[in-house]
Chain A
Amino acid sequence: MKLATTPSGGRIRIVSLRKFELGDDARRPRPARSAASSADQTGAPATPGESPAPPASRALASLAAASRAMMPVALGLIVFIGIWALIAQISTLPNPAKTWEAALILFSDPFYVKGPNDQGIGWNILGSLQRVAVGFGLAALVGIPLGFMIGRFKFLSDMAAPIISLLRPVSPLAWLPIGLLVFKAAGPAAIWVIFVSAIWPMIINTAVGVRQIPQDYMNVAKVLNLSEWKVFTKILFPAALPYMMTGVRLSIGVAWLVIVAAEMLTGGVGIGFWVWDEWNNLNVEHIIIAIFVVGIVGLLLEQALLLLARRFEYR
């Protein structure tokens, strides 16, 4: 199959892979390090009432606290893998060790290209991310302004409410045939599905954000007789921004959820298509790896947006 690679290359990858997959373990010393550095910076205990302890012992203490916090996480993982191994014993499911081996081989060469339907896992992930980015970007471009207008004007809100309530519960995949019909190609149809799935949380959350703006702020705008543009840039936009960011975060979650299913149907280079392809090859290890990859990428997207959202908090 497509997994030809040199053993030495594989060895090198193992190290980087372990760092990546055991992110929780790699994170363990981090709180300790930051605590130690902050102690170094201030040069004195943070609170005056606290008994003065040398930085080294404090770092050690916070290391212990961090490892205590990691205990349940590690235990959870062990139990999870244990159950997986147990099920693998009594069924045809590949066991954790076999899957791990397959993953090492797979990730030793993530960016190979052997024709349009046989490319490395890296290309497949990037393909999916690109589709999500385009579909999500278009949804933000349409959904956020729409949400603002719906939130600001009662009439528009009343106009849009029944349509949104009707269309929002529809599975995004139901829109795929419409996309295929209109765009006459699989690629744009997949992006269309992402667009439809990602737009609702952004419209709704932005509208809620605009609607919940405290009357006090709007009174300030009224008393100052601010222009509609100033009201938007100085009051509406900053006040709605945290809500908007929540919408963006939910949207990207949904988009990433849907892309796998959409790609299974439309094909092309992408993690969803790859899963389907591996199913046709009966390569179940790769399907399990794909599940983990989708999960990890989704988690990273979510965390990145949480980090971004925190920058916009004003309280």
Chain B
Amino acid sequence: MEKLVQIENADVAFYTKKGLFQALRGIDLTVTQGEFVTLIGHSGCGKSTLLNLIAGLVMPTRGNVFVNGREVAGPGPDRAVVFQNHSLLPWMTCFDNIYLAVERVFGGSEPKAQLRDRTRAALELVHLAPAENKHPHEISGGMKQRVGIARAFAMQPKILLLDEPFGALDALTRAHLQDELMDIVAKTRSTVVMVTHDVDEAVLLSDRIVMLTNGPAAVVGDIVSVDLPRPRDRLAHASDYRYHELRTAVLEFLYRKQMCPAA
């Protein structure tokens, strides 16, 4: 298997008003091509920081981050990010929000008609073709997040980075979008790194679950490999012994070994 992301002994520290804050310490992580990896941990443990490290939005203070064999020097469209709060530009329609990304990635090599086709295809991928001319404030939270996901997929990135993409949604919408995401990832064979604090989401979607210890100076506490066969069905898994075993393993880590002292 080809190693797409390699993080070697990476530290991340921030300068704050109280002085140096060590967010991550000695992180070692590899993500192979086509893998779905989730990062889980208590809030504030630095899982988003780890994602931003891969995205290039945060630089390591020590150690190295390689994506596709090249050291990460900054953010780039080969690593599409879906943020928790969708971050669509409110003055643009859904179509234009996606088109902006498509144009950036493919604008140099393809004619405009093809760019528009790509944008429409991305909207269809998330079943939002009818909403292409709507502005973000005219659609629901779940739809906004789908546009954000469509924007990310439209860029055909080497790796897709999802930062708690369903965190702000209600349970039903979340389940629906999880299924949709599984579907799209299977179809496009994408490599995904996703931050979540939802144990069920992690077990259902991932190939591997990376569990971080509590911050500051969080380290990779343990990694659980999810060997459930795909395609996965949330209803079938509800009564699956192996599913519950995995779920318990993650819960055990989060609530016994890493009980959040502040919470």
Contact = CB atoms under 8 A, between A and B. Distances in A.
A224 B135 CA distance: 20
Contact of A238 (B55, B80, B83, B91): B91
Contacts of A223: 55, 57, 75-77, 79-81
A310 interface: no
A217 B135 contact: no
Q: Which of A216, A217, A223, A224 has the most CB of B within 10 A?
A: A223
Given A219-B83, A220-B89, A222-B57, A314 B135 contact: yes
A315 interface: yes
Interface string A215-242: 0110110111110001000110011000
A226 B74 CA distance: 13
B104 interface: yes
A300 B7 CA distance: 62
A300 B57 CA distance: 48
Contact of B77 (A217, A224, A230): A224
Contacts of A216: 83, 85, 87
Given A219-B57, A219-B81, A234-B100, A225 B76 contact: yes
Chain B interface SS verdict (over half): loop
A166 to B, nearest CB: 28
B212 to A, nearest CB: 22
A220 B75 CA distance: 10
Interface string B31-74: 00000000000000000000000010100000000000000001
Given A219-B81, A314-B135, A315-B137, A224 B100 contact: yes
Given A223-B79, A223-B81, A224-B101, A235 B55 contact: no
Contacts of B216: none
A230 B55 CA distance: 21
Contacts of B91: 238-239, 314
Interface string B128-156: 00000001010000000000000000010
Interface in A183-227: 214, 216-217, 219-220, 222-226
A222 B87 CA distance: 12
Contact of A220 (B76, B87, B135, B137): B87
Contacts, number: 50
Nearest to A235: B89
Interface in B73-99: 74-77, 79-81, 83, 85, 87, 89-92
A315 B87 contact: no
Contacts of A234: 89, 92, 100
Nearest to B80: A223
Interface in A261-315: 314-315
A226 B99 CA distance: 13
Contact of A226 (B87, B104, B155): B104
Interface of B: 55, 57, 74-77, 79-81, 83, 85, 87, 89-92, 100-101, 104, 135, 137, 155
25 contacts: A216-B83, A216-B85, A217-B87, A219-B81, A219-B83, A219-B87, A222-B74, A222-B75, A223-B57, A223-B75, A223-B76, A223-B77, A223-B79, A223-B81, A224-B77, A224-B100, A225-B74, A225-B75, A225-B77, A226-B100, A230-B100, A230-B104, A234-B89, A314-B90, A315-B90
List of 7 A-B pairs having minimum Cβ-Cβ separation, nearest first: A216-B87, A238-B91, A314-B91, A222-B75, A223-B75, A224-B104, A223-B81
Given A225-B76, A230-B100, 14 more contacts: A214-B87, A216-B85, A219-B87, A220-B87, A222-B57, A223-B57, A224-B77, A224-B104, A225-B74, A235-B89, A238-B89, A314-B90, A314-B91, A314-B135
